[in-house]
Amino acid sequence: MPEDNIRVSLSRDLTLFDITMIGLAGMIGAGIFALTGIATGIAGPAVMLAFLLNGVVATFTGLAYAELGSAMPEAGGSYLWVREGMGNHLGFLSGWVDWAAHTIACALYAVTFGAFFSELIVNFLGYEQFDQGLLIKLSALVIVSLMALINFMGAKESGRLGGFVTLFKIAILVVFAGFGIYKTITQPDWTFSFFSDPSFAPNGFIGILVAMGLTFIAFEGYEIIVQSGEEVKRPEHNIPKAVLISLWTAVIIYIIVAFALIGGIEVGIPNWIYLGELGEFSMIRVANQIVSFGSVLILVGGFVSTISAMNATVYSSSRVAFALGRMGFLPNSLSNINEKRRTPHFAILFSYLIIASMALLPIETVASAANVMFLILFILVNMVLIILRFRRPDLKRAFKMPFAPYLPLVAIVVQVFIGYYMVTEIENTAFVVAVTILWVILGSFIYFSYSEKELKKRALVSRKKMYERKPAREEGYKILIPVKDEESAFKLASFAHSVAKEKDGTILFLSVITLPEQTPFSAADEYLPEKQEFIHRLIDSVDVPAGGIIKVSRSAPDTIMDTVEEEESNMLVMGWRGRTFRQDVVLGSTIDPLLLKAPCDVVVARFEADREWEDMKNILLPTAGGPHAILAAEMARSLARKENGTVTMLNVGPSDEDRKVATKVFQGVSIHLSGVKTESKFIVGDDAVSVIDEEAKNHDVIFLGATTRPFLKNFLSGVFPEQVIRGTDKTVIMTRRWVKFRDMLKKKV
């Protein structure tokens, strides 16, 4: 087997505890130690509400991550999902932004570590002769280098170290918060600092939104959990649990620490103002008022927290680069795995170089840049969850986000507001926005100058065009028909002919010669004359502009999908023998992925045995409305016009009370049956499949179109294709309309 076809993968050795600790390490880092004081100065005591609301918003997106991560647990996370749902370009850009977000976040943790280290050297130990700014940068570079080395050593060492330091820093924060809460509530007028100095939210709801934007990065750790999906044991169960456990553990810790800080100190000005003036050093410099040796405790906690957060984000950023390299979007060297350590060493190296460069910038700029990147990423993830719910219902989802698409839409809107107020209210964010735009432009340049060509090059390795005959006319409505055996091919051609006639379109026949990996493409030469003659006879059988292509490949579904995209086909028409022998497929390993993912309308036909495609006058159209049923109606209309036939619309309901609904459905569908004779029939029954099969006895052909979500779910999980066809020998035509994203939002998916 050629070396290029060997798929590299990572070993699964991370447990639920490991990935929960990795997530917490990313959430309880620089945010709680360096940003809490700054955020308090913006929102006042309402910073606790900002943390709570951030937790709620993060939960919405976290649920999306939990569902998608349990369904597709591969290294790369959100990049893979966006690519699956929104195409290669946006998929790459999401990965490109994801990589930047994690590297910038790691730089933030490194700069925070440097600030704490400089505080230790200059103010605690008294070495005031050192330049504190230079010391911050040097110590940041040293600690980042150490974290890169630890990650190079392997995921198991990384997980163990992360688990230890995360538990340690949680213990420190809980002890600190406990003393602060006790000191607060034992004061007789403790509520004054929260509600009367001058109020709970002195800067109003705008201040809360700005604080949410500033600290939003604190809750990105669940994204790190998903990045490790390919190395997690039982990912379909452990990933959703780890996301929710780590997220709300972090939210609770943030709230109690903020409560302790605001209520546990006594100064001459409002506590929230004082904390804001101290900025990233606020926790260190007020801790002694809360507990003896509190400053030392916080200093140690800050070191431990930033170290564990850096460890987690070096890990996650390298996995994004690994996935991008493995898929061909970035140079393949990024997907190389060290033979001894089984880690992506080049991906770690390049992530390290970006982190080290960003660590040289001011802490406010680094924090804002990371927040903007993560907001873009999370918005894309919420969008793609809606898309994949509709287009990939076949995915095994051990966990499903409730109330979709409403919760994802709420998350998108709130994240847009958070981003807007962060950009408009915090200093230096104009520079951050400019950097973000340039990063996206650079990513697009890389995609169109390198990635797109590399993807095409890889595709050529696995498939090759051997013969092509163009239709006499190529513009207009285009129908693609993959053909294999003669009996079904000519029936498909006859069916597509009536559609092409009505739409003034063209037909393109595709024959795919599939060869195993070890067989050279030249072995297909002996089949070429026979396939050419077959294609020519199909072209001659239709009275519309038609052409043909013969390709040899390793994968028939991939080749058909590529041809759909290359030819910009409007409809894909395929034949089905009506049986499968594998439990993991519905209609077949070739048809299933095309039915679900092809970016065009799809028609699948199971033909009645020993009957030609002619005299099909009695047409049955079971329908409950919806875009897929409309496509079925359009196909039925084309056939009825050709055969001068009658279309009978059928609706099945559990009681006679559903008759009114059925009448409305018939009215909507009949609009698309203009020019042909129609009848409508409503039947009361609990078993729609049995009713359809019984009615089919009096008809020549059945058109099935997916409609509402339950119907679509059943349609794609095999209920209608298998049960209806099992009960009838008549021809069954199944339709799936390609629905765009904006149309998905009009219905619950």
59, 247 Cβ separation under 8 angstroms: yes
Cα 733 off chain centre by: 32
> Which pLDDT band holds residue 708 (cuts at 50, 70, 90)?
very low
The answer to whether residue 3 sits within a structural domain is no
Q: Any idea which of 152-166, 178-192, 235-249 has the lowest mean pLDDT?
A: 152-166
The answer, yes or no, to whether residue 460 has pLDDT greater than 70, is: no
Label each residue of 198-260 as H, E or C.
CCCCCCHHHHHHHHHHHHHHHHCHHHHHHHCHHHECCHHHHHHHHHHHHHHHHHHHHHHHHHH
Look at 719 and 695; give whichever has higher pLDDT: 695
For residues 614 and 597, membership in a common domain is answered with: no
CATH number at residue 85: 1.20.1740.10
In Å, how far are 53, 574, 609, 622 from 492, measured between CA atoms? 56, 7, 14, 21
The answer, yes or no, to whether residue 742 has pLDDT greater than 60, is: no
Average pLDDT for the chain = 84
For residues 408 and 500, membership in a common domain is answered with: no
Q: State whether residue 740 is helix, strand or coil.
A: coil
The one-character DSSP state at 514 is E
The answer to whether residue 16 sits within a structural domain is no
- The rounded distance, in Å, linking the Cα atoms of 357 and 371 is 18
For residues 613 and 598, membership in a common domain is answered with: no
- Which of 214, 174, 198, 597 shows the shortest CA–CA distance to 372? 214
Per-residue pLDDT at 2: 37
Mean pLDDT for 467-489 is 87
The answer to whether residue 461 sits within a structural domain is no
Mean pLDDT for 153-158 is 58
Per-residue model confidence as pLDDT tens digits over 365-386: 788 888 889 999 999 999 999 9
In Å, how far are 37, 38, 58, 192, 314 from 30, measured between CA atoms? 11, 12, 18, 29, 15
Backbone angles phi, psi at 47, to 5 degrees: -60, -30
For residues 174 and 266, membership in a common domain is answered with: yes
Q: State whether residue 471 is helix, strand or coil.
A: coil
The answer to whether residue 156 sits within a structural domain is yes
The answer, yes or no, to whether residue 522 has pLDDT greater than 80, is: no
Per-residue pLDDT at 714: 42
147, 307 Cβ separation under 8 angstroms: yes
Share of the chain above pLDDT 70, in %: 89
The answer to whether residue 462 sits within a structural domain is no
The answer, yes or no, to whether residue 580 has pLDDT greater than 50, is: no
Mean pLDDT for 700-715 is 60
CATH number at residue 630: 3.40.50.620
The answer, yes or no, to whether residue 156 has pLDDT greater than 80, is: no
239, 12 Cβ separation under 8 angstroms: no
Per-residue model confidence as pLDDT tens digits over 194-239: 988 789 999 999 999 989 988 888 888 787 777 666 677 877 778 8
Mean pLDDT for 491-513 is 93
- The rounded distance, in Å, linking the Cα atoms of 372 and 430 is 11
The answer to whether residue 48 sits within a structural domain is yes
- Give the dihedral sign, CA 456/462/467/472: negative
What is the biggest distance separating any 2 CA atoms in the chain, rounded to whole angstroms? Answer: 98
737, 704 Cβ separation under 8 angstroms: no
The answer, yes or no, to whether residue 125 has pLDDT greater than 80, is: yes
For residues 587 and 620, membership in a common domain is answered with: no
For residues 598 and 617, membership in a common domain is answered with: no
Per-residue model confidence as pLDDT tens digits over 391-418: 777 677 878 888 888 999 999 999 999 9
For residue 164, give every residue at least 6 positions away whose Cβ sits within 8 Å of its Cβ, in sequence order, or none. Answer: none
The answer, yes or no, to whether residue 258 has pLDDT greater than 90, is: yes
Among 419, 453, 487, the domain-final residue is 453
The answer, yes or no, to whether residue 585 has pLDDT greater than 70, is: no
- Which of 438, 419, 384, 704 shows the shortest CA–CA distance to 576? 704
For residues 398 and 502, membership in a common domain is answered with: no
Q: Any idea which of 176-185, 479-488, 723-732 has the lowest mean pLDDT?
A: 723-732
Run of H or E residues at 548? strand 546-553
For residues 697 and 717, membership in a common domain is answered with: yes
Per-residue pLDDT at 721: 52
Mean pLDDT for 360-365 is 78
- The rounded distance, in Å, linking the Cα atoms of 230 and 606 is 39
Per-residue pLDDT at 378: 93
Mean pLDDT for 43-70 is 91
Look at 51 and 123; give whichever has higher pLDDT: 51
- Which of 679, 657, 659, 746 shows the shortest CA–CA distance to 708? 746
* Neighbour-count burial of 279, counting CB atoms closer than 10 A to its CB (0-12 exposed, 13-18 middle, 19+ buried): middle
The answer, yes or no, to whether residue 621 has pLDDT greater than 90, is: yes
Mean pLDDT for 735-742 is 72
- The rounded distance, in Å, linking the Cα atoms of 266 and 738 is 64
Per-residue pLDDT at 442: 93
Among 579, 605, 631, the domain-final residue is 605
The answer to whether residue 21 sits within a structural domain is no
For residues 267 and 413, membership in a common domain is answered with: yes
- The rounded distance, in Å, linking the Cα atoms of 215 and 57 is 12
Cα 576 off chain centre by: 31
> Which pLDDT band holds residue 169 (cuts at 50, 70, 90)?
confident
- The rounded distance, in Å, linking the Cα atoms of 745 and 749 is 8
- The rounded distance, in Å, linking the Cα atoms of 448 and 454 is 10
The answer, yes or no, to whether residue 647 has pLDDT greater than 80, is: yes
The answer to whether residue 459 sits within a structural domain is no
Among 390, 422, 453, the domain-final residue is 453
For residues 81 and 96, membership in a common domain is answered with: yes
Looking up tokens 């001068």 gives 644
For residues 480 and 433, membership in a common domain is answered with: no
What is the domain extent for residue 727?
608-744
Backbone angles phi, psi at 236, to 5 degrees: -65, -25
For residues 630 and 580, membership in a common domain is answered with: no
The answer, yes or no, to whether residue 679 has pLDDT greater than 50, is: yes
Domain count, the chain: 3
